[in-house]
Amino acid sequence: MFVVSTAGGVERKLTTEKFFNVTSLGWLPDQQSLLITAARIPNRNFRIWHLNAETGAADPVTKNSESYSALSLDARAAILIATTVETDFHARVLDLETAAERLHVPGASIITFAPDGKVIYGSEMSGNLELWSIEADGSRRRQLTDFPGDDVDPVSAPDSKTIYFASNRSGSVHIWRMNEDGSNPTRLTNEAGGFPLFVSPGGEWVYFHHGTDRTLWRVSTGGGQEELVLDKRKSCFALSPDGARVAFGEKVDGQHSAVVTSLNGETVKTVKLADQKGNLIHIAWLRDGSGLAYILATDDFRQNTLWIQKFDGDAGPKTIAQFDQEITSRGFALSPDGKSFAVSKGGWSHNMVLLKGLN
């Protein structure tokens, strides 16, 4: 954290205290100190801190289990309004034909399948955003990671024996590898970090969404130099089961479409989306490569519709299911046998609290 003089622009480090994240700040009336909301450890509670702008000393004001985000002070700094944040996520595995529920996973904000049918998901049940696994019948729930920070976006190797995931445990987001039981975590990327999407059928490459450029990259599953694959900035990519094509959303001739290209960027097919007013938030390939499954959301993201669209035939897009709660950004996957799909829904609830007696 730094303070800058508005008169001459001179910059000075405000404190030597290290925070993982700072979400809000407010100057106290004496103009010599501030209140901030910050967390020192990734995915730990955000406390309200008193920060002395002269000495740099930082002391926690709140010590309870609540996590605070925004804050606002009255003119005398006698009353403070802040917001507390709670998570409320859950995932379900549903039949692709009937939408009947096959599995319910409380607390899951991220969900995917391993090729052997096991469900791998992300949850904050332990206090951190960690990765877990569970059998398709709901048995053998197991925590795979246990490290301060975010562990997200698991993708399994074709043999289901290795899991690739994104983690910020090193200070920035990178691709990591671990055994299916969570042992032997190993970092793969060094420069272009991001979020895993797909492992090549032969197990040689892991493709990932660049964390800042939003382009498509790959790195050897053994580690090494990262390689740019597709220089297109997209919110989501989907690799075909054979690893030869990639699908993404794009406006073509004024129509919202799913575009399929080769890995060198040559367009293979363009498919008009079922609802031209919908926002494309998820896209995936059918397991036999014959078409796409995608989720379109309304402008307020409160209504979500899952569609399936085959490339060949005259049937057109088919509505599979509708959801009246927001689907999480990493909460959609098709099962290996193509008979089920998983969705994670929910979000963060914010409550306003009033704190008195600050001075």
Q: How far apart are CA 276 and CA 256, in angstroms?
A: 6
Q: How far apart are CA 305 and CA 276, in angstroms?
A: 13
C-alpha dihedral (119, 124, 128, 129), degrees to nearest 10:
50
**Contact by Cβ (8 Å): 87, 109:** yes
Q: Is the pLDDT of residue 234 over 60?
A: yes
Give the count of beta carbons closer than 10 Å to the beta carbon of residue 40: 16
Of residues 41 and 296, more confidence is placed in 296
Confidence grade of residue 17 (pLDDT, cut at 50, 70, 90): confident
Q: Which residue has the tokens 């490459």?
A: 205
Q: How large is the average pLDDT for residues 310-317?
A: 82
Tokens at 337, concatenated: 């046998």
C-alpha dihedral (62, 66, 68, 72), degrees to nearest 10:
-60
- Mean pLDDT score of the chain: 90
Of residues 126 and 268, more confidence is placed in 268
Q: Against a cut of 0.75, is the pTM above it?
A: yes
Q: How large is the average pLDDT for residues 153-167?
A: 96
Query: Length of the chain, please?
Result: 359
Beta bridge partners of 61: none
Q: How far apart are CA 327 and CA 347, in angstroms?
A: 9
| Exposed / middle / buried, residue 188 (Cβ in 10 Å: 0-12, 13-18, 19+) | buried
The DSSP line for 107-121 is TEEEEEE-TTS-EEE
317 DSSP assignment: -
Q: How far apart are CA 198 and CA 239, in angstroms?
A: 7
The residues, ordered by sequence, that sit 6+ positions from 124 with a Cβ below 8 Å of its Cβ are 43, 87, 107, 109, 130
